[in-house]
Homo-oligomer: A and B are copies of this chain.
Amino acid sequence: MKTAARESKTVRPIMRLLDILGKRWSLRILWELRSGRMTFRELRTHCDDVSPTSLNQRLKELRELKLIDHDEEGFGFTKWGSELGEHLLTLNDWSVDWDKDS
Q: In the complex the two chains form, what is the Cα distance from A98 to B96 in whole Å?
A: 28
Give Cα A90–Cα B84 distance, bound, in whole angstroms: 11
Which residues of chain B are within 8 angstroms of A91 by Cβ–Cβ distance?
A: 14, 17, 87
- Nearest-neighbour CB distance to chain B for A55, whole angstroms, equals 14
Closest Cβ of chain B to A15, distance in Å, is 8
Tell me what chain A mostly uses at the interface: helix, strand, loop, or mixed.
Answer: helix
The interface-forming segment of A23-31, A37-45, A68-76 is A23-31
- A39-55: CB near B (< 8 Å → 1, else 0) gives 00000000010000000
Question: What is the interface of chain A, defined by CB distance below 8 A to chain B?
Answer: 9, 13-14, 16-18, 21-28, 31, 48, 66, 80, 83-84, 87-88, 90-92, 94-96, 98-99, 101
